Structure 1
Amino acid sequence: MSALHVGDLVNRILPKQPTLEVISVADFIKTELPPREHILSPWLPVQGLTMIYAPRGIGKTHIALGIANAVANGSSFLTWHAPKPRGVLYLDGEMPATLMQERLRLLMGEDSAKPKAPFQLLTPDLQKGLMPDLATYAGQEMLEPYLKGIDLIIVDNISTLCRNSKENEADSWIPVQTWALKMRAAGKSILFIHHAGKGGNQRGTSKREDILDTVIALKRPDDYSPKDGAVFQIQFEKARGFLGDDAEGFEAKMVMDGNRQEWHTSTLPGSAYEEVVTLAKKGLKQKEIAEKMSLDKSGVSRYISRAHQEGRIQ
């Protein structure tokens, strides 16, 4: 048998790479593309890559589960709305099964109806081996059989589910980034949950944000006391594709109603809305408020209308 050239062997082993699709700008701008829809309006788009980060113990999993439940049912959570039910795969990297079950019961109710779309959970205590490591090809392949019918993948959290990625090394994030882009190309969205460092900023390399549409930070109010329970401020640090009122932060507080949890939201002190209300109460006209705050008149008008509806001004 004649010896094969090394190049021939490589070509036989490696899959053939697909050809690249290059299009002229003139043709591209004339191409009819479907409008970008939202999984959770206004910040989580279809084929969107997003992240929420916060210090330990602030409520990351509470908010992630609330988002998952809203998406699976086509319902609302906090100030956000899911236009229709979509499949969710929740990857839990560290929560004990009993605690996860308890939180889901508080969120959904023990007698609640089955979610309208698939709401699947992968959690450590139910596994015979280790959870998949999404920083490795093998870990990514482990998920493939469970992605059918899934529109949103929630990775809770980066530290436990991307173990082979060193937080402070930008290059070690590349395998996860490549996987995320692959999921986006397949029509799926991803919500990464991440820890903040001691200074309050997200831990590790900032390279993670390069491909993300939205980055949300959860922070404690300045006057927070442990007796207040789960209460935090939601601040948008990156908002691709939305702005104005949609990108304005707010405060969220979890309260218990019997055996179910509810969430109350309020505007942040010092927000543009609060300042408009204050100036309106002082008797300033909308035009004067717009000039004083360097705001668009239509934006001031929306704030005034909202304040009227809430009964804050007459």
Structure 2
Amino acid sequence: MIVSVLQTRRYGWNFLPFVGINPRSPFGGGAFLTEIMKTSTTTTNASTTSPTPSAPRIRPLGDVLDDETIKPRNRLLGPWLLERGATMVFAPPGVGKSWFSLAVATAVATCGTFGHWSAESPNRVLYIDGEMDMADLKGRAKLAIKAAEGGNPDLIRENVVLFARHDQPEEEDNFPDFSNPDDADAILAIVRQHRPQLVVLDNLSTLATVDDENAAAAWDNFLKLLLRIKSAGAAVLVVHHSNKNGEQYRGSSKIATTFEAIVRLRPNPREAASDGAAFLLDFTKTRMQSADSRKVFNVSFADARWHWDTLVDPAIAELVRRFLDGEFKSQAEAASVLGISKGEVSKRLGKAYAAGLTTKAEIQAAMAAAKRNAEDGEAH
């Protein structure tokens, strides 16, 4: 605790409610640092003897089954953003990652909705931004509030707390690095002070310095910090960039192991986002039991309104999966197995191509591979 408090005291950070600059707010930098100072004085006057580490808890499964204090996790938003969970959203630059994250934060804070996903209750959000100018962040926040649906919009002014790099005093150049273990205790002190149910990290490239993104070990410090934030009782939404082809996130595959859900946003070739956002949304990883995990959503934000369409139904996504898994050597075989016409198979594949779910070349390659595998099997 001494290290945590002293490191936090070293920074001159500002924390502000979502809209409006109000240093006298109970969540503003002055009050926060005053409390940290008090705690620091008390702590440093206490005994400096290192406490004996507590033994790890290891108990029979029966004790866990009978433990009434273990409750099902609350849904912060829909089935994919759960209490004490970890989610990542990734996309190419300019597609709408921050718009998406602000909309999620708004829905969580107000007990509102985003698309057809709803929050179960209003919750505190700590939004940490690493790159956006404060004028742009303020403008987007106002539009996000205007576009919010359901819930109580009055709650957002205090339920979302901002910690932004470009809101810090000019003379301070010590915004925390989320991959630096020396900053980890100070970051945890911030989370424990504000007690959010959701922490948004926007975005990973500007908040964490990773020398070699493709090296698994290079991510260890950041991933350990995420686990500590979750242990402190908060869910985490990490905003990240996609790789060059836009199909996967940037960096080592090790990143995925930490997250329960990974949301992919891809540019919508039929929509132009001049002053908002337009993207195709799907999940590349989920641990949820939901039909949403097999859907592709067509999402756009324009005129301070979100517009949603389900672009691909589960039957189309399942058809694509079976083709890519090598189950069908031809469209005719798929039609025979599924009990539908060849024309219907072609129609469904056409919708999948339009949605960016797969390409004609990928399906043709998968059918050719299935045909070769079948011929090899007959030869043996």
**In which range does the TM-score fall when normalised by the shorter chain?**
0.7 to 0.9
Q: Secondary structure at the match of 1:199?
A: coil
Alignment of 1:134 onto 2:160: no
Alignment of 1:124 onto 2:165: yes
Q: 1:80 to 1:126 in 2, by over 3 A?
A: same
For structure 2, which runs of at least 5 residues remain unmatched after alignment? 1-47, 148-152, 318-337, 341-380
Q: Residue 37 of structure 1 is aligned with which of 74, 77, 86?
A: 74
Q: 1:165 to 1:132 in 2, by over 3 A?
A: farther
Q: Residue 91 of structure 1 is aligned with which of 121, 128, 153?
A: 128
User: Residues of 1 paired with 2:50 and 2:253: CA distance?
Assistant: 33
Q: Secondary structure at the match of 1:172?
A: helix
For structure 1, which runs of at least 5 residues remain unmatched after alignment? 1-11, 276-290, 294-314
Question: 2:96·2:276 contact (CA, 8 Å) conserved in 1?
Answer: no
TM-score, with structure 1 as normaliser: 0.75
Q: 1:157 to 1:224 in 2, by over 3 A?
A: same
Q: Partner of 1:230 in structure 2? A: 277
| Runs of 4+, deviation exceeding 6 Å | none
Question: 2:109·2:155 contact (CA, 8 Å) conserved in 1?
Answer: no
User: Residues of 1 paired with 2:182 and 2:154: CA distance?
Assistant: 36
Alignment of 1:105 onto 2:142: yes
Q: Residue 82 of structure 1 is aligned with which of 111, 119, 127?
A: 119
Kindly state the Cα deviation for residue 38 of structure 1 after the two structures are TM-superposed.
1.0
Kindly state the Cα deviation for residue 113 of structure 1 after the two structures are TM-superposed.
3.0
The alignment covers a number of residue pairs equal to: 263
Kindly state the Cα deviation for residue 237 of structure 1 after the two structures are TM-superposed.
0.8
Question: 1:72·1:116 contact (CA, 8 Å) conserved in 2?
Answer: no
Q: Partner of 2:208 in structure 1? A: 162
Matches within 5 A, 1:8-87: 16-32=52-68, 33-87=70-124
Q: Partner of 1:185 in structure 2? A: 231
User: Residues of 1 paired with 2:133 and 2:275: CA distance?
Assistant: 24
User: Residues of 1 paired with 2:165 and 2:216: CA distance?
Assistant: 27
Matches within 5 A, 1:240-279: 240-245=287-292, 247-256=294-303, 261-268=304-311, 270-272=312-314
Q: Secondary structure at the match of 1:115?
A: helix
Kindly state the Cα deviation for residue 69 of structure 1 after the two structures are TM-superposed.
0.9
Structure 2 letter corresponding to 1:217: R
TM-score, with structure 2 as normaliser: 0.63
User: Residues of 2 paired with 1:198 and 1:240: CA distance?
Assistant: 26
Q: Secondary structure at the match of 1:104?
A: helix
Kindly state the Cα deviation for residue 180 of structure 1 after the two structures are TM-superposed.
1.1
Alignment of 1:174 onto 2:174: no
Between the aligned residues of both structures, percent identity stands at 29
User: Residues of 2 paired with 1:213 and 1:241: CA distance?
Assistant: 8
Question: 2:188·2:228 contact (CA, 8 Å) conserved in 1?
Answer: no
Deviations 1:257-278 (A, max 9, x none): xxxx11010011x423789xxx
Kindly state the Cα deviation for residue 211 of structure 1 after the two structures are TM-superposed.
1.7
User: Residues of 2 paired with 1:199 and 1:39: CA distance?
Assistant: 31
Q: 1:125 to 1:83 in 2, by over 3 A?
A: same
Deviations 1:149-206 (A, max 9, x none): 3110000111111114631111121111111111212211000000012111211111
Structure 2 letter corresponding to 1:25: L
Structure 2 letter corresponding to 1:23: R
Structure 1 letter corresponding to 2:129: D
Kindly state the Cα deviation for residue 216 of structure 1 after the two structures are TM-superposed.
0.4
